[in-house]
Structure 1
């Protein structure tokens, strides 16, 4: 019997896992953005001494995970499970990272929703009594994602104003069955919502309806309203997607103004840094959450946050065949107190 399930799509965790530590590594462009002071490590060179962008991304994720574990005062042998994912074919970044770290591994693919997906599953593993220590992580790299999903970098194509800039970076969270918080208290799992968007340069419009669907179901399941949160933040809808969510939610009777923003909006100054609609990629929500949000919660500036990373579940092959882009959004409630 699913005694921890409330409503149709939400789990209320009876033994909320505590966040023991986090760590973030970002690229040079992200380090020039408005959240620079919140990142643990800013690279001067996004190749980081590696032979390829793909090998660089693996190194970024690996070092982020190792540093998060060390920050918690733990060793890799103390970790029961690693849950991580990325954007590259067959989540190769995470697979090669897990090879180096050598702990029990679940590879996840939720596209840019992977940070919330990993936190959701990691929290349920701990709450269910299956683990005591879990690492949740993800990464992306502008130069790997760009040439896989859009154009070769050498092509030098113009970017549409609805396009977003894939974040170079990784974030990792260490969850524990014990600790002083912040705690993950609720998990709302997303459903595939496909509005029929086919433009790979307009991810915000493709994912925004999924964000609205998960958010409304979260409110219905929990009985919460926007005012119960200090911050509601989506993963990487960017400026275009954020405005769509505000408009769609207003039509459903929810006023999110002053409470809601998006990681892709916050990580860059889109005008000064020429990122058009903002940031995207698995590393977007991962670095903003494990950097900015977590550290503000430790300060007491934020007491309850809803993190809802969003993902576009497409691939270059099927998109080139004319298919539309399915979207998904997973949400987790993070509380300074257990409840």
Structure 2
């Protein structure tokens, strides 16, 4: 019997795991944005001394993991699992980082929802009694994602106003059976939702329906109302997807306006930094959560947060074949202990 399951899609933990430390590494553009004071390591060069963007992304993830472990006063050998993924073919950046770190590894692909996915599964592992310490992490890189999903960087093409800027960065969180920090109490696993959007330059519109579906499922399963939370934050819908989400959730009977924001809106100053609709990428919600949100929770400025990382499950093949863009979103409730 699934004794920890409530409703159709939500788990309530009997032994909520603690998030005992986080760390972030971001690129130069992210380091010039509104959240710059919350990031641990801001690069001056987004190649990070490597020979390719992909290897730079792998190094960003690896260094974030090492810093988070160090901040937790543990060692790499204490980590029983690493749950991680990225946007690249065969999870190249993550797999190469896992090779170098030597931590038992689960490779995940949830596109930009991967941070909440790794936190969700990591929390289940800890609550289930299968580990005492693990790391949940993910990464993305503007240059590696652009040339995989859109155009060669040398092309210099004009970007649509609905387009978002893939975050160069990684966030890592250490989960533990014991601690004094914020803890994960609930997880709502999302379903794949596809309302037929085909424009690869409008990820916000493609992902918003999945964010709404998961958010409504969370409210219905738990009985929580939006006002329970100090902050409900989606992963990387950007300005356009954020507006769509607010309207769709309101139509379902919930007003989230006072407590809702989006990581893709928070991480950049869209006008000053010319990021059009905002940020995106696996690193978007990872850096905002492991940087800004976590540190504000440690300060007790935030005490109840619902993180809903969102992902667009397209591939270069599906886009070239004219398929629509499926979306996925996973929700994690994080509260101060």
Q: Which bracket does the TM-score occupy, shorter chain normalised? A: over 0.9
Partner of 2:198: 198
Partner of 1:319: 319
TM-aligned CA deviation for residue 318 of structure 1: 1.4
Aligned partner of residue 272 in structure 1, secondary structure: helix
Q: Give me the whole-angstrom Cα distance separating, in 2, the residues matched to 1:183 and 1:200.
A: 36
**TM-score normalised by structure 1 residue count:** 0.99
Partner of 2:62: 62
Aligned partner of residue 186 in structure 1, secondary structure: strand
1:207-222 → structure 2 map (5 Å cutoff): 207-222=207-222
1:189-338 → structure 2 map (5 Å cutoff): 189-337=189-337
1:278-314 per-residue CA deviation (whole Å, 9 max, x = no partner) reads 0000000000000000000000000000000000001
Q: Give me the whole-angstrom Cα distance separating, in 2, the residues matched to 1:233 and 1:222.
A: 18
Aligned partner of residue 264 in structure 1, secondary structure: helix
Partner of 2:122: 122
Q: Give me the whole-angstrom Cα distance separating, in 2, the residues matched to 1:210 and 1:53.
A: 30
Aligned alpha-carbon RMSD (Å): 0.5
Partner of 1:13: 13
Aligned partner of residue 178 in structure 1, secondary structure: coil
> Does residue 1:141 correspond to 2:169, yes or no?
no
Q: Give me the whole-angstrom Cα distance separating, in 1, the residues matched to 2:224 and 2:301.
A: 20
The unaligned stretches of length 5 or more in structure 2 are none
**TM-score normalised by structure 2 residue count:** 1.00
Partner of 1:169: 169
Partner of 2:32: 32
TM-aligned CA deviation for residue 319 of structure 1: 1.0
Q: Give me the whole-angstrom Cα distance separating, in 2, the residues matched to 1:181 and 1:36.
A: 22
The unaligned stretches of length 5 or more in structure 1 are none
TM-aligned CA deviation for residue 253 of structure 1: 1.3
1:87-137 per-residue CA deviation (whole Å, 9 max, x = no partner) reads 000111110000000011000000000000000000000000011101000
Q: Give me the whole-angstrom Cα distance separating, in 2, the residues matched to 1:136 and 1:239.
A: 27
Q: Give me the whole-angstrom Cα distance separating, in 2, the residues matched to 1:53 and 1:94.
A: 13
Aligned partner of residue 159 in structure 2, secondary structure: coil
Aligned partner of residue 314 in structure 2, secondary structure: coil
1:48-127 → structure 2 map (5 Å cutoff): 48-127=48-127
TM-aligned CA deviation for residue 181 of structure 1: 2.1
Q: Give me the whole-angstrom Cα distance separating, in 2, the residues matched to 1:310 and 1:249.
A: 15
Q: Give me the whole-angstrom Cα distance separating, in 2, the residues matched to 1:109 and 1:203.
A: 17
Aligned partner of residue 170 in structure 1, secondary structure: strand
TM-aligned CA deviation for residue 250 of structure 1: 1.0
1:37-88 per-residue CA deviation (whole Å, 9 max, x = no partner) reads 0000100000011111011001100000011001101111101100000000
Aligned partner of residue 136 in structure 1, secondary structure: strand
Tell me the matched-pair count. 337
Query: Structure 1 residue runs of 4+, over 4 Å off?
Result: none
